[in-house]
Amino acid sequence: MDMSLVLQFWVVALLLALTPGADWAYAIGAGLRAPSVAPSVLGMAFGYAVVVCIIAVGAGALVTQYPMSLTVLTIAGSAYLIYLGVNTLVSKAGQVSASDAPLGHAPAAQFFRGAGVSGINPKGLLLLLALLPQFTSTAGWPSAAQMLFLGGLHVVNCLYIYFAVALLARRILRSQPRASAVVARASGVIMVLIGLGILVEKAAELL
């Protein structure tokens, strides 16, 4: 694998996990209302792991059969990344509050609700579908294996960040209510820069 691509993906995935959204809201809800945050956070990580496996198998087969599709997915993914960054910057700043979705009383119920939050989140699905293929290389591991590895990095990022968000929920909401807005703004700037850099690199390869 190209380690420079792995590093680039890790940075992008970290920024996405740090951007407040539905996952953050559910993690905060678990931190405030559940006896243990582990079932909910592990459930969200499991949901993303399932999505990664599905995308890796499908997109990996597509790239293997049609190599040009990797270029198309790369351009589309970069453009989508720029769109997300710009949308984050122009949207009204606000703070993320706890989700009012029911957590369930049993740990198993909390786990599967967490899996549903991430597994059926259309934004998360589109992000991984757009991003995973563009950070693979034509040399070395098969495309599907590279996407599984990269997707695993994303799942690990989510585990650490969502555990931290859940465990520090009370402090974040009470003493730093606008911290999420600052994080979102910074993430938006970096996403735009990374997306533009990938587009420029791909354009140089095609010219």
Confidence of residue 163 (pLDDT cuts 50, 70, 90): very high
- What residue type is 155 in one-letter code? V
The residue ranking higher by pLDDT, 96 or 167, is 167
Q: What would the pLDDT profile of 111-123 be if each residue is shown by its tens digit?
A: 888 888 787 765 6
Is the Cβ–Cβ distance between 44 and 118 less than 8 Å?
yes
C-alpha distances in Å from residue 201, one per residue of 64, 134, 144, 198, 205 = 22, 12, 23, 5, 6
Average pLDDT estimate for 71-87: 72
pLDDT of residue 155: 92
Please state the domain extents for the chain.
Answer: 3-206
Q: What would the pLDDT profile of 101-110 be if each residue is shown by its tens digit?
A: 555 568 888 8
| Least confident interval from 8-22, 34-48, 155-169 | 8-22
pLDDT of residue 46: 94
Is the Cβ–Cβ distance between 129 and 60 less than 8 Å?
no
- From CA 2, how far away is CA 93, in angstroms rounded? 37
Q: How many residues does the chain have?
A: 207
